[in-house]
Amino acid sequence: MTSHLQRVLDSFNADLPLERARTIPSAWYFDPEVYALERRRIFANTWQLACRAEQVAGPGQFVTIDIAGEPILVLRDDQGTLRALHNVCRHRAAQVINEPEGKLTKLRCRYHGWTYDLTGRLRGTPEFEGVQEFHKEEQGLPALAVDTWGPFVFVRQGTPRESLGEYLAPFIERTRSMALEKLHFAGRKEYVIDCNWKVFVDNYQDGGYHVNTVHPGLAGALDYSQYRTEIVGIHSVQIAPMKTSSDPTIGKVRSGSHAYYWWIFPNLMVNLYQGMMDTNLVLPVGPDRCKVFFDFYFADVDGESNRKFIADSIAVAHQVQMEDQGVCEEVQRGLKSHSYDSGRFSVKREAGGYHFHRMLARWLRER
């Protein structure tokens, strides 16, 4: 670790009570060295949501995803085993598979045509005779740990310290009665935001502090006075009792007794309303840009009225996202101002945000 990076990391105190705490300093949101460390110690050291199980249900089905600059391929091999491989050709590091998803019988790199089987073993190396000390059997695509929970497939680089079940335990236990695995996928939306991925998480984790100001529509459906955050192990959940919205569209698609906003360290958020769930996966595309995938799941997807409900529900989520995106990009610009380094937390609202910053510091320093 360079002395510069050490100084930047040391400039956050994770041991203070919330009343005295400050946020992580602004450099953590744009410094390339911090980003490089996050790639190694956070994204390569946690279970990461990669795709949906139904996308890789049958032999040969695959999905590709870039997790913080790490190209990854999830696929089901001929024997029916679910696998995750580094999607980086052993020859010159081209991406072996470029399509986002599909089905194939072998993996063929489009650059010079090397082929691998569905388990990642290197098979074909055209015009490579005479190369010495080259052992095909040592040149397979390196594997990652992979596991599923409910509709989700997660991958994990390195050696997992805990199983996926252990990693998700608080979330799994507390949502068991909601039968999330019975919900049906209904669509995805993708956003590119000009902010560090942590700005998006911070915005998610402010305990409803910005709901009235930034989301006037949504605010009408939540009982803000009862909104609370619970820290649950390495995750957190924000719980908002619902009330009847004066806006008929929002009232219809955001109903039930409570909304639950789960944050799964470090970059996955799961929003639960009656009869629906949407996941927000935020992935960095560099120090000051990120991509967010919203996946929508519903209890009932068939029939005209359900389709209308789904379309309205996704439209409300999109509107809320547009409102969030505006402030996130503004915050990223502000973080680079010479006038700002770190801020304070609302004791009443922002325990979740400080919890996130403490977790980050722990992972960056110790892992």
324 binds, among ligand FES, Fe ion, none (CB under 5 to 8 A by kind): Fe ion
114 binds, among Fe ion, ligand FES, none (CB under 5 to 8 A by kind): ligand FES
Report, in Å, the least distance between residue 333 CB and ligand FES. 39
Instruction: Burial-class residue 365 by CB neighbours within 10 Å (0-12, 13-18, 19+).
Output: middle
Find, among 230, 254, 228, the residue nearest to 309 by Cα: 254
Query: If you count DSSP H runs as helices and E runs as strands, how many of each does the chain have, helices first?
Result: 9, 17
Helical spans, DSSP H, in 42-183: 164-175
Torsion of CA 79, 84, 89, 95, to 10 degrees: 120
278/324 with CB nearer Fe ion: 324
202/288 with CB nearer Fe ion: 202
Instruction: Burial-class residue 152 by CB neighbours within 10 Å (0-12, 13-18, 19+).
Output: buried
70/324 with CB nearer Fe ion: 324
Report, in Å, the least distance between residue 112 CB and ligand FES. 3
Q: Determine contact, residues 39/157, Cβ cutoff 8 Å.
A: no
Q: Which residue is nearest to Fe ion (CB)?
A: 324
Q: Determine contact, residues 243/262, Cβ cutoff 8 Å.
A: no
User: Is residue 278 near Fe ion by the rule CB under 5 A?
Assistant: no
Find, among 153, 186, 179, 4, the residue nearest to 76 by Cα: 153
Report, in Å, the least distance between residue 84 CB and ligand FES. 19
Cα–Cα distance for residue pair 64/55, rounded to 1 Å: 11
Instruction: Burial-class residue 297 by CB neighbours within 10 Å (0-12, 13-18, 19+).
Output: buried
User: Is residue 116 near ligand FES by the rule CB under 6 A?
Assistant: no
User: Is residue 123 near ligand FES by the rule CB under 6 A?
Assistant: no
Report, in Å, the least distance between residue 116 CB and ligand FES. 10
112 binds, among Fe ion, ligand FES, none (CB under 5 to 8 A by kind): ligand FES
User: Is residue 136 near ligand FES by the rule CB under 6 A?
Assistant: no
User: Is residue 89 near ligand FES by the rule CB under 6 A?
Assistant: yes
State which of positions 310-339 bind Fe ion (CB under 5 A). 324
Q: Could you tell me which stretch among 33-41, 108-116, 127-135, 309-317 binds ligand FES (CB under 6 A)?
A: 108-116
Residues that bind Fe ion in the complex, under the rule CB under 5 A:
324
Residues that bind ligand FES in the complex, under the rule CB under 6 A:
89, 91-92, 94, 109, 111-114
